[in-house]
A and B are shown apart, each in its own frame.
Chain A
Amino acid sequence: MDINVRKRSQVQVVQLKGQLRLGEAVDDLQRTINESMAEGDARFVVNLSEVPMIDSSGIGVLVRFLASAKKRGGSVKLVNPSNFAQKTLRLVGVLNLFEVYEDDDQAVASFN
């Protein structure tokens, strides 16, 4: 999985590309999150437009990510999840935990 992080208006925008599933992908994302939070970041946007599949481990990371960000006074907002990723998040009942936006700009602006 490719993980690209860039900062926009004090918001970390995390662009993911590939399947978010148990193993390297989930481990890499968790490491990225840990590093960013260790630097004090708490406002995140995660773009899921190029994530065709999320398994339960990937869902677990996103849910843990959201809880950690909120604990620090921030949040995690999702952008444009692929159809199957959105379906999967809905099936397990966690889609409603997140604010979902159509693009990065809207998601970043929502923090202001």
Chain B
Amino acid sequence: MSFEAGAGAADQPGEVTNSFELRLQGEVRAIAAAADSISAKLQLLQIAEEKQVEILLAVHEALANAVVHGCKNDPSKEVRCRLEQYANGHILIVITDPGSGYSPQQLPDPTGDEHIHRDHGRGIYLIRQLMDNVLFEHNGREIRMWKY
């Protein structure tokens, strides 16, 4: 099952010209190092700075979601993160966790009056605002995020 959000799906992005994959333990303290690795890769690929920070924050949110909810902060579990750059310059980030999944469509809008003062529940919303296209696969255990 997959869910789609944001602008239309990437059409014909061409071949993958660069790819990078990392795995991290399912604990919060592993997130910063993984995000820093992605940041270094984005710099190497000479992605525009504004896009870099938006991608990086989305990656951070998705990794936090995978570690906290997917792995229950258990270092014996593992999160996979893959970055791909396509011939047309589009960037795809895929993050997969071993959790039981969830339905991202059922998350409440954190900007609504009844939720605006809550101290949690903004991560997925933020990802959708920062990236151009977001897909959820395998019952929410995998998130695929595009930046055009």
Contact = CB atoms under 8 A, between A and B. Distances in A.
Interface in A33-65: 52-53, 55-57, 59-61, 63-64
Contacts, number: 63
A94 B56 contact: no
| A interface majority secondary structure | helix
A88 B126 contact: yes
Chain A interface size range: 20 to 34
B40 interface: no
A91 B126 contact: yes
B26 to A, nearest CB: 13
11 contacts: A53-B53, A55-B57, A56-B123, A56-B126, A60-B118, A60-B119, A61-B119, A63-B117, A63-B118, A84-B53, A88-B57
Interface of A: 21-24, 52-53, 55-57, 59-61, 63-64, 67, 84, 88, 91-94, 97
